[in-house]
Structure 1
Amino acid sequence: MGQELKGRIKTITDFGAFVDLNLSVDGLVHISQMSRRRIDNVKDVVSPGDEVMVWVKNINRERGRVGLTMLKPLKYKYKDISEGDALDGEVKRVENYGVFVDVGLEREGLVHVSELSHEYVKSPEEAVSVGDEVKVQVLKIDVRKKQVNLSIKALLEPPEVEEAEEAKEIFTEQVEEEFEEEPMSTMMAAAFGQLDGFKKPARRKKTPKKRKRNRNKAMMDELVSKTLQVGQE
């Protein structure tokens, strides 16, 4: 029992499919043994002529029948794995919110789209495809619900420091440009307003760029000075 065999779908019925194993008898895969998910129609899974991998489930020598399953034997039970474990798996389904990976448990684990890469992923198809072999890390296990949350990015190298610094510089430049357009944002006013009753200055008419830059510099110098005074108290 449990022997792995390669066969070809010979005929299909409402209750399953007969598989040619190049033996004296054909094997039968019941519809319930085709997927761990519910199947309403055998035709949704296999067609005559398809090559399939099957495992021997039972043998009835008196009737000359061989019961087969297309469900790969489980590698693990839920009690065998822990959060933080690294596992090998295969992508089985791709949804808008993430991908389902077979890691050898009773049910496939979910890798949320946010756990596919350190970079922004708009659609899971950009990162993986059905059939891809992936390495995942176990994030969370719910034994009662038989659910496992996985991560691919947890086992990937994070972005280089240079890239992070570059992103920081770009952000800083954007903030400085916005500061020139408006001397003090609402957020800064709220933060610094606690220092000696500082309040956001009211908007005024546009002034020459040079004068505006000097005024902004004076404001920042004043804020820094007040901040240091508070820190020394």
Structure 2
Amino acid sequence: MDTEVIETTDEVENNLEDAELDAADNQGELKRKTHLKGTVSKIALGGAIVHLDFEKPGFVHLARIQEAPLNRVEDALQVGQEVDVWVLRADPHREHVELTMIEPLKYDWRELKKGMVVSGTISRIEKFGAFIEIGAERPGMVHVSEMANKYVRNPHEVVTIGEEVAAKILAVNKQKKQIKLSMKALLEKAEPQEVIPSVKEALQEVDEDEPVPTAMEMALREAMQRNRKDDDGPRNKKSKKSRGGRDLEDIFSRTLEGYGQK
């Protein structure tokens, strides 16, 4: 028995909207979100007809005249009134261009991509980072570790409320409505610190004309350095070698005394 898959109303509307938006993007002259000026030519029950400098007239639905609830078109618009509108859909199969008087967002979720560079205003600062209004449905968040090339203890050290900044999109999660940003990604990398030359490099810089010590000279120098260390050490901490040396001296003295008695 075959099972029929029934899409929900929201899924159908989203699919239709995506298809219409794709068609609108292919119109060439009128693209989605294009800002236009027009004149209200007729008031209808569900909206208003707007005359445009285009082949087709535009239509503004009642729900897209203003953000606040509106019961009648006449309460907001009149015939002959000049209005600012934005293209919502430009379907070639329709007799009119669908418009909105509510300014659309700069970025829809489908337009936000990883790696994009966006600009915006710091709207909120928290201990873990800051939020940036970039013109999307939700502000983007830049973590404190993504603010600078150096360690940042407090985000207030780097940004302030209302500051204009640029950032790079690290990730977009449409389901969770999250946009992760990085300011550090747009900064130049810090210059490497001066590296201390290694012993090998230091030896390579030695003058080649300087005579190389023989094995006997090196052994003698090492013995002299050991003796200096023994002499400089605390008296109460005697090394085994020094004690052994004194024992030999005592034996040698007693031996000489024995020869003298004879």
Decide: shared fold, TM above 0.5.
no
TM bucket (normalised to shorter chain) is 0.3 to 0.5
Q: TM-score, normalised by structure 1?
A: 0.42
Q: TM-score, normalised by structure 2?
A: 0.38
More strand, by proportion: 1
